[in-house]
């Protein structure tokens, strides 16, 4: 086998995480190869809700979710569902999730999530500007909508936590609410406006443009599936599904919901599960959205994209193999019509994607404990776009041997051992 490689770093995965990392490493002068089994932005990065949700500092694993979980989990069309047939397989992950939701763990997870969000806020505009996609950012803020005073009051503890971490927001009702978003239904009585919330014009465009910017700086892209990884004294060898091998000095695993399978080839057991997210994109003109609308109690959002109005969210813990249940997309559209009665729901395009989720709601970012030339960067759940620039900065720091911008210990791969 060839002992030398023309690549310094090989990145397995061409979603928003992998391509952002590729851009920053190519920018730093590294010889980068990007591998993906389908192509750039061919999985979750193509169909996300387009939000840079820096205000989402609370982990999904939290006491609030534990209170709601018994009602939600076994409702096939609820905000967080679990097919009964998948329960035996996911049970170990659920036990870790419930443990991570205990108060003694949540405070630490929130601090870690906040640190990553603060870094993401600082790095995103820099990355977008350097990659030539700053024009795809939208600065309209977001409205969190509540149907009734009781639902709004139940959210106040969350907003207090966010305010303590420096997140700006404004509680609104009446004419102020109507001005921020005309056409809301009569059930929407209260809202909270987050002015610094960002969205993008289209997540597929953003991801592919960052990938092309990495290639413009010397990165190489190849459509290929990585099936195995080995480390030896000369570097890292990645085995591809066609039987060929690629050698590089280091490797980054950023393969989203499939990443744990590659980690397992190195002997690292990482409890990754899949948040199956659904959406429907309605044609442009379906409704005049002024900014992203977030419906926390129902777990979905409405986003204005260049391609139309996207209604998406919710979580189905169902793994990688089950067929999509597009009733989930349909029920979100029905609920959206209650929020904005003027919504035109004809000719929508349905989609389902796989979000990589770890039981403590934090990603894995760091070197493999068994193969120090392999760096993990996955498990961001529904926050991949939001945290992509921060993750790219941290992986660049690791590759360049620089001090990480934040403490990496909360995200270390071996925390599940």
Residue 240 is assigned to a structural domain of this protein? no
Q: What is the pLDDT along the chain (417 residues), one digit of tens a residue?
A: 444 578 999 999 999 999 999 999 999 999 999 999 999 999 999 999 999 999 999 988 877 776 666 666 667 677 778 888 898 999 999 999 989 998 889 999 999 999 999 999 999 999 999 999 999 999 999 999 999 999 999 999 999 999 998 999 999 999 999 999 999 999 999 999 999 899 999 999 999 999 999 999 999 999 999 999 999 988 999 999 999 999 999 999 999 999 999 999 999 999 999 999 999 999 999 999 999 999 998 889 999 999 999 999 878 889 999 999 999 999 999 999 999 999 999 999 999 999 999 999 999 999 999 999 999 999 999 999 999 999 999 999 999 999 999 999 999 999 998
| Alpha-helical runs (H) found in 132-265 | 149-154, 156-164, 174-180, 203-216, 259-265
Residue 285 is assigned to a structural domain of this protein? yes
What is the pLDDT at residue 314? 79
CA dihedral over 306, 311, 314, 318, signed as positive or negative: negative
Q: Quick one: which H or E segment has residue 217?
A: none
Residue 290 is assigned to a structural domain of this protein? yes
What is the pLDDT at residue 338? 96
What is the pLDDT at residue 1? 42
Residue 344 is assigned to a structural domain of this protein? yes
* Tokens of residue 161, six digits: 């936590």
What is the pLDDT at residue 2? 44
Tally of domains in the chain: 1
> CB within 8 A of 397, min separation 6: which ones?
403, 404, 405
What is the pLDDT at residue 84? 82
pLDDT tens by residue, 10-58? 999 999 999 999 999 999 999 999 999 999 999 999 999 999 999 999 9
**What CA–CA distance (Å, rounded) separates 12 from 1?**
21
> CB within 8 A of 345, min separation 6: which ones?
282, 286, 333, 337
Burial 315-347 (b: 16+ CB within 10 A, else e): bbbbeeeeeebeebbbbbbebbeebbeebebee
CATH label of the domain that carries residue 91:
3.30.9.10
Residue 131 is assigned to a structural domain of this protein? no
Residue 163 is assigned to a structural domain of this protein? yes
Q: Following DSSP, what letter does each residue of 86-139 receive, concatenated?
A: GHHHHHHHHHHHHHHTSHHHHHHHHHHHHHHHHHHHHHHHHHHHHHT-GGGEE-
pLDDT tens by residue, 240-268? 999 999 999 999 999 999 999 999 999 99
Domain that holds residue 156: 69-101+137-198+274-357
Q: Give me Rg for the CA atoms of the chain.
A: 21
What is the pLDDT at residue 81? 83
pTM for the full model?
Answer: 0.95
| Contact assessment for residue 385 and residue 52, using Cβ atoms and an 8 Å cutoff | yes
What is the pLDDT at residue 70? 67
Residue 291 is assigned to a structural domain of this protein? yes
Q: What percent of the chain stands above pLDDT 90?
A: 85
What is the pLDDT at residue 129? 98
Residue 77 is assigned to a structural domain of this protein? yes
């Amino acid at each position: 086998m060839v002992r030398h490689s023309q690549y310094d770093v090989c990145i397995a995965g061409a979603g928003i995480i992998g391509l952002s990392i590729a851009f920053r490493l190519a920018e730093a002068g590294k010889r980068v190869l990007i591998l993906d089994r389908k192509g750039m932005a061919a999985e979750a990065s193509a169909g996300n809700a387009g939000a840079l949700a820096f205000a989402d500092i609370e982990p999904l694993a939290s006491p609030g979710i534990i209170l709601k979980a018994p009602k939600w989990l076994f409702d096939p069309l609820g905000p967080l569902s679990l097919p009964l047939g998948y329960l035996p397989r996911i049970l170990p992950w659920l036990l870790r999730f419930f443990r991570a939701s205990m108060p003694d763990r949540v405070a630490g997870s929130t601090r870690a999530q906040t640190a990553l969000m603060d870094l993401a806020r600082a790095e995103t505009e820099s990355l977008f500007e350097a990659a030539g996609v700053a024009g795809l950012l939208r600065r309209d803020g977001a409205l969190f909508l509540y149907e009734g005073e009781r639902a709004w009051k139940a959210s106040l503890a969350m907003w207090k936590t966010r305010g303590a971490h420096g997140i700006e927001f404004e509680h609104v009702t009446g004419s102020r609410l109507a001005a921020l978003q005309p056409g809301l239904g009569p059930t929407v009585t209260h809202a909270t406006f987050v002015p610094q919330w960002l969205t993008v014009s289209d997540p597929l465009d953003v991801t592919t443009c960052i990938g092309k910017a990495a290639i413009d700086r010397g990165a190489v892209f190849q459509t290929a599936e990585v099936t195995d990884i080995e480390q030896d004294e000369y570097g890292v060898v990645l085995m591809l599904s066609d039987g060929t091998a690629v050698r590089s000095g280091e490797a980054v695993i950023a393969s989203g919901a499939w990443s744990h399978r590659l980690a397992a080839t190195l002997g690292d057991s990482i409890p990754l599960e899949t948040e199956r997210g659904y959406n429907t994109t309605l044609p442009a003109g379906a409704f005049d959205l002024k900014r992203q609308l977030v419906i926390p109690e129902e777990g979905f959002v409405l986003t204005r994209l260049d391609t139309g109005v996207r209604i998406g969210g919710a979580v189905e813990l169902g793994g990688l193999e089950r067929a999509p249940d597009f009733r989930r997309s349909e029920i979100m559209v029905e609920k959206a019509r209650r929020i904005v009665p003027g919504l035109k729901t004809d000719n929508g395009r349905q989609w389902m994607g796989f979000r990589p989720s770890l039981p403590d709601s934090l990603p894995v970012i760091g070197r493999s404990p068994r193969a120090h030339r392999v760096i993990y960067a996955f498990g961001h759940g529904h926050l991949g776009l939001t945290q992509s620039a921060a993750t790219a900065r941290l992986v660049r720091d690791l590759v360049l041997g620089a001090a990480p911008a934040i403490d990496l210990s909360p995200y270390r791969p071996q925390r599940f051992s």
